[in-house]
A and B are shown apart, each in its own frame.
Chain A
């Protein structure tokens, strides 16, 4: 099976995120209302790739191992990911 994988990496909760804080300030300075205080704004990264794997659990295990090994640094980052079968929902 082929999967579309999307890994979201974000600054770990409690770690200073100067980039997020600056973006939050800029949004408020531009007059966008309702944006939470600067501690709620975070800038992370999105890592996308195709993955060939026999089934969903195997694909998830592989992606989790990739996150641990290379894609994230647990001291400063948290992550979550989606593993979407590439041929699902072909009628949509």
Chain B
């Protein structure tokens, strides 16, 4: 059976259908997981998509991390389950302490909505199987609080341990180390500011996002029965 991916929806999430659509094109089964759920309902992976969970009040992700489903997601992640946070989902994962660092206001104080070039850095993680270090991906960003911040010690640690997943080629938001995506040390939790679901069809101008979400599906196919993975179009 195709792997089941739980796509978390908080009040204010707005990318869940796009993400679910692309995951299904890639051969997965996607199920929207409402934030009030107390379990991940048997999902093989979790995606926390973009949006404005709980209105982004107080700080982006600050309230969302206390939604009931996040207790289950944290437990799933600590058990090695694959968890991908996209944009607001990345902010939620840092607030929840599942990823290092934090996301701060863009250095130019502008909401950025544009395609960016991203260099693949580390591939020893759940979105790395179809990527190679050095490859440049073109994927859109869409955020106001996307400037990655962490302490000097954290930056040194995540650099040395290969946890930096993607860097901006031309840093658009003042992120420390031009970091656009990071993983936890085990590589099963990844957060990324760019939106791979919005770069998943030639009509959208880029299909590079297919290799990001396709990698996630690949690592699940290995966990369950082999699943033929459509290369997408």
Contact = CB atoms under 8 A, between A and B. Distances in A.
Interface of A: 15-16, 18-19, 22, 70-71, 73, 75-76
B66 interface: yes
B149 A15 contact: yes
Interface residues of B, number: 20
B106 A18 contact: yes
A22 B104 contact: no
B7 interface: no
Given A15-B104, A73-B62, A75-B149, 6 more contacts: A19-B105, A22-B109, A70-B58, A70-B63, A76-B102, A76-B149
A22 B109 CA distance: 9
B151 A75 contact: yes
Contacts of A22: 109
B90 to A, nearest CB: 13
Given A70-B66, A75-B149, A76-B149, A18 B102 contact: no
Contact of B95 (A16, A71, A73): A73
B133 interface: no
B174 interface: yes
B95 A18 contact: no
Nearest to A76: B102
A63 to B, nearest CB: 15
A22 B94 CA distance: 27
Contacts of A70: 58, 62-63, 66
Contacts of A73: 59, 62, 95, 102
Interface in B7-48: none
A18 B174 contact: yes
B58 A19 contact: no
A26 to B, nearest CB: 12
A75 B102 CA distance: 6
B104 to A, nearest CB: 5
A21 B15 CA distance: 33
A19 B149 contact: no
A15 B151 CA distance: 9
B114 interface: no
Contacts of B149: 15-16, 75-76
Interface string B139-153: 000000001011100
B58 A16 contact: no
A46 B107 CA distance: 22
20 contacts: A16-B104, A16-B107, A16-B147, A16-B174, A18-B105, A18-B106, A18-B107, A18-B108, A18-B109, A18-B174, A19-B105, A22-B109, A73-B59, A73-B95, A73-B102, A75-B102, A75-B149, A75-B150, A76-B102, A76-B104
Contacts of B105: 18-19
A30 B106 CA distance: 25
A73 B105 CA distance: 13
A24 to B, nearest CB: 13
B51 interface: no
A82 B29 CA distance: 51
